[in-house]
Structure formats: structure tokens, C-alpha cells
Amino acid sequence: MKDLKELKKIEQFSDQCMKCGFCSFFCPVYQEEKMETSVARGKNYLVKQILAGKQEFTHEMADIIGKCLLCKRCAANCPAKTQIDRVVVAARAQLVKEKGLGAIKEFAFRKVMANRKAFGKYARLMQKFQWMMPTTEGKIKHLPDFVKGLGKRNFPSLAKTFLRDQIKPVYKPQNGEKPKMRVGFFMGCATDFVYPELGLKLIDFLTRHGVEVVVPEDQNCCGAAIYFSGDLETGRMLADLNIKAFKDLNVDYIVTACGTCSSTLKDYQKYLPDTEEQKERYTEFEKKIKDSTEFVIDILKIPPEDFKLRKEFEGKTVTWHDPCHLVRYQNIKDQPRAILKALKGIKYVEMPNADMCCGMGGSFSVYHYDLTKKIAGKKMDGIKATGADIVVTACPGCMINLIDNVLLNKMPQKVHHFLELVE
């Protein structure tokens, strides 16, 4: 009998599916492909077949397991409460165990992303050459696949100066008083390399509200793209590094401006543990993690009148896009809306299907860019229906994909992080 350790861990979740097929209505991939292998029920059935020894990890099976955004829309609406995300992640982990990661992911995850210094080095190298990246499709043949995937699209430039190179280890409250709280700031890769101003903005906002912010240098990638691809080993390594980085800082909370990072850090305890000790440690870590949206509303409890709009956004109509990692992974949906509704001078309009995935799905969009575009197209329809000038969200991953598709669809909307709107 084969060792199916990773799948055995989630067998109980897999067994919950009663095959009603309701997931088909909520699955963005099924809605495009209309095939049973695209939807949770089909994937879960095939995983059960593997567990029963009736199915192998063939190339096609790997493809089926790979073709999931992990948006959790099916799970959130499942009458049987099947946690299909855990089934998919475990299946990917089992696949990695059996077949390895493949050269590209092996290099990207383990040699680049897992090592902050190396990632910085490669990012810097890319930054030097990004002027030559064509915006038309399929012209970069000499770059590794995952870079080629990114290069085909309207991709925001890498920052001139990365956040790590301009950030200080400690920021005191701006009023000079004793801090009411001490928080650790978790950067995340996109904020570090693409949107450093978001990080500075968050620090400015927090210190202005009496919070002391510390930024440990040893922090790493959160590991989302890595462990959601099934590389739990590297995921655990990153979890341990991040936990260590914040361990002795004596912080009350750890805050990030990236919805994917906050959910990933919280969910180490869910997807990664191999031992009881890890489970306990990751659960302990989870308690400190706060997304920036929930932190300002639930913890700092900033009253509506204290949110001030930046001048350039006066008179604009805005709408909110729910990142999957906020709305379903963390049940954060009211907080960002409360912030936007508190801002005087803008008009807030709710978007139809605001909670629908933008189609990014991390590395999903690298391998299935055509599907990403189709799924994003539906998101664009929702945005158009609002008549908004600005789409606001709180996940740099979503931002990158929304910008790409707004441009592809020749739409006038601008995409912003909520932090960019507030003074």
C-alpha cells in the first residue's frame, strides 16, 4: 500500500461531500468550463478514488487538482460543509511528495521565494531588465515559465527602491506619547517589491494613531503560493522563520496590508502542521495576526469621523472588491465597508458579486491565464455595473490582477488599496 499520509489527514473532510453538486453554481472555474472535473464534487471524488487505490497521480490528475483557484466559494456555500480547500491542498501536497515539485516550482519556491535575500536579489535583477519586458503576448522565451507568465500581462513595475531598503526597524507614535500598543509589521512580497508605499502608508497610519510599529528584518515570504501549491515542507520552513522573526519582539499584534498574507499567516495551523507541537505553535501565532482592515476597525476601533479622505479622491465614486482571502478565509467583509462608508467626500456603491474571485488564484493565473481572463471578465462586468471611478481592495495580489484586466477591457477605473484613500 502506498503511503498516502497527506491525504489520510483530510480523509474525514473528503467524506463529508454528499455529491449534491451545488458547488457547481459557485465555482468560477466550473462556470467557464462546465465540466465535472473542474468542480469541487469531481475533484473530491477523484481524491477519494486515490485514497481507495483506484486512481493514480497521472498528469491529467495533477492538472485537475491544479485547476482550482482555492477561492473557497464552494466551501462557503457547501450544505455539507465540506472543506474542499483542505482536500485540494492535501492532494497537491501528496502529489509533490510523490512526483516532486517540478524544476520551475522547485527553483521558484525553494531557491528564490523561500530565501528573502535571494528573492530580493532576483527581484532586483528583474527590476533592472523590466524595461525590456514586452507588453504583448508570448515574446519572452528565455525567461523561466513563471516569469514568462507574468510578463505577458499588464504587470505593475517593480518598485525603484524595495520596501526593505527604506524601512526602519522601529517607528514610534507620531504624537510622541507612550504607545498604546506595539505591533509587528509583516511586509509580504508584493508590498515589499511592488507596492512599498503601501507599507509606509500603513506604518504612517498606525503611528499616527498612537501605535508603535516594529519591523523585523528576518521576516520572509508568507508562503501562500508555496504551500497552496503543495510544498508544505517549504511552507513549514517559512512558517518557522516568520514565527521566529516576530518571537522576541514582544508585540501585541502582527499586522499586514496584504489580505493573502494575513490569511496565510493565520492558517499555518490549518494547512501545515505535521506534529502536535507545530499545531500548537502555529495556533499560538495565529492569535496575533490581524489584517490591516480588521485591525483599524476591530482593534484600534477608530471612529468613523477619524477616517480622513485624501484630497485627490474627493467626489469619486468607489466600490469594494472582496479578496477571497479576506471574505472567506477570514470572514472580513464588514470592516472594509465600514471604512469606505466612513470616508466623507466619496460615494460608496456596492458591486454585484463583490465576493467573486478576481481570477488570480496565485500561481493559478500563471498556468491558466486564459481562464483567469475569463473569470476576471465577469468581475469587470460587476465593476462596470457600479459606475464607480475607483475599485478599492486590500490585497496586492487582487490589485495586480484587477489592474491587468481593467486595462485589457479598456475600462477607465483605477484600482487602489484602501490605505491609499485615507490620510
Partner 1 sequence: MLKESLISEFQKIVGKDNVLTSPEALKAYSYDGTTSWIHEPDVVVFPTSTDEVSRIMKLANAEKIPVTPRGGGTNVSGGSVPWHGGIVMVMTKFNQILKIDKENLTATVEPGVVLQDLTLRLAKEGLFFPPDPQSFLGATMGGIISENAGGPAGVKYGVTKQYILGVEVVLPSGEVIHLGGRTLKNVVGYDLLHIFISSEGTLGVITKAELKLNPLPQARKTLCVVYDDVSVAGEGVFRVLENGVIPCKIEMVDNWVINRIEEMMPIGLPKDADACLFFEVDGIPEVVEKEAQKIAEITKQYGAKEARIAPNMDEANKYWLARRAGFAAVFGKAKQVFAEDVTVPRGNIPKFVKKIRELAKKYDVEIVVLGHAGDGNLHPAVLTDPANKEHYERALKAVDEIIESAAVEFGGVLSGEHGIGLEKQKFMRKVTEPAVINMMKGIKALIDPNNIMNPGKIWE
Q: Which is nearer to partner 1, 51 or 163 (CB)?
A: 51
Q: Which is nearer to partner 1, 46 or 89 (CB)?
A: 46
Q: Which is nearer to partner 1, 16 or 207 (CB)?
A: 16
Residues 26 and 142: their CA atoms lie apart, in Å, by: 38
The closest alpha carbon to 313, from 389, 376, 383, belongs to 389
Q: Which residues bind partner 1 (CB under 8 A)?
A: 16, 18-26, 34-37, 42, 45-46, 49, 54-55, 58, 60-61, 64, 79-81
Whole-number minimum distance, CB 74 to partner 1, in Å?
11
Q: Residue 350 and residue 55: Cα distance in Å, rounded?
A: 45
Q: Would you state the cell numbers that stand for residue 371, as one nine-digit string?
A: 481562464
Burial 184-193 (b: 16+ CB within 10 A, else e): bbbbbbbbbb
Q: At what angle do helices 59-66 and 84-99 cross, to 10 degrees?
A: 140
Q: Which is nearer to partner 1, 60 or 218 (CB)?
A: 60
Q: At what angle do helices 396-408 and 369-386 cross, to 10 degrees?
A: 80
Ranges assigned E (strand) in 58-169: none
Least CB distance to partner 1 at residue 46 (A): 6
Matching residue, cell 493565473 = 365
Shortest CB 20 distance to partner 1, Å: 6
Tell me how far, at minimum, the Cβ of 32 lies from partner 1, in Å.
11
Cβ within 8 Å of residue 158, ≥6 positions away: 123, 126, 127, 130, 193, 194
Is the Cβ of residue 59 or residue 142 nearer to partner 1 in the bound state? 59
| Shortest spacing between CB 49 and partner 1, in angstroms | 6
Query: How many beta carbons lie within 10 A of that of residue 412, not counting itself?
Result: 8
In 3D, which of 307, 182, 199 has the Cα closest to residue 258?
A: 199
Q: How far is the CB of 148 from partner 1 (least distance, A)?
A: 24
Closer of 61 and 251 to partner 1 (Cβ):
61
Q: Give the nearer residue to partner 1 in terms of CB position, either 266 or 328.
A: 328
State in angstroms the smallest separation of the CB of 16 from partner 1.
7
